[in-house]
Amino acid sequence: MRILTQKLGMTQVYVKPEDEPLAIPVGVTVLKVVENVIVDYRTEDRDGYNAIIVGYFFKPEHKVKKPILGFVKKNLGERELYPTKFYEVKTNDLDKFPKGTSLDVKIFEGIDLVDVQGRTKGRGFAGVMKRWNFSGGPASHGSKFHRRPGSIGQHTFPGRVWKGKKMAGHYGNETVTVLNLKLVEINPEYNILLVKGGVPGHKGGYVFVRPAIYKYGRLS
């Protein structure tokens, strides 16, 4: 089970620890579940696995591409706004998710640990200090070695640079999953999840949230 959310930003809330009488501040990320609708299914017989297809990014009819429009109309009929993008959620209980209904935060009821998957902020072509946490050199006292990587190998043997050598290059803008974040609050009123700690990406970016697989397994 996973659900697409938008990262709204971070704040602090006060949460009571188990063995202390007073609440302490906890840094949380505010994640809003995007408007979505269940469009179609993947089934064992036809596709080899069971899943629901969830649509999001709603647009009026004239802005939707025709093949997508046909697919949505076949399943949901005429409506004011049509989803333009889709993702799949693997599950075996297809009956629980009728077509035309939406996923919301209620699927996280009773769950206290979640995984969050998103795309990190792009950092462009980054040097070794930012990308691999190299120490670099002294800034002053006549030092001419500031942010450089230093030696990258040995001598005539091996006479080449080892594969996988940490060097400068493109950093960020990659998919990262943060495991086992505490779910601090589920707010059905605004369809919002509060997750302890940070999640990948910038404000307004889209991230997937699922129950922690280490605790609840892949198909929970």
Interface contacts to another protein, rule CB under 8 A: 8-9, 11-14, 19-23, 25, 30, 32, 185, 187, 190, 192, 194, 203-204
Of 201, 33, 157, 171, the closest CA to residue 102 belongs to: 33
User: Smaller CB distance to another protein: residue 143 or 187?
Assistant: 187
Compute the distance between CA of residue 164 and CA of residue 89 in angstroms, rounded to an integer. Answer: 35
* Phi, psi torsion values for 137, nearest 5 degrees: -115, 180
Of 36, 146, 20, 17, the closest CA to residue 81 belongs to: 36
Please, what is the minimum distance in Å from the beta carbon of residue 128 to another protein?
35
User: Smaller CB distance to another protein: residue 9 or 70?
Assistant: 9
Please, what is the minimum distance in Å from the beta carbon of residue 25 to another protein?
7
Which residues on neighbouring strands pair with residue 12, listed in sequence order? 27
User: Smaller CB distance to another protein: residue 12 or 92?
Assistant: 12
Please, what is the minimum distance in Å from the beta carbon of residue 170 to another protein?
29
Please, what is the minimum distance in Å from the beta carbon of residue 96 to another protein?
28
- Contact by Cβ (8 Å): 88, 42: yes
Please, what is the minimum distance in Å from the beta carbon of residue 19 to another protein?
6
Those residues with Cβ within 8 angstroms of residue 183's Cβ, 6 or more apart along the chain or in another chain: 108, 111, 112, 113, 114, 193, 194, 195, 196
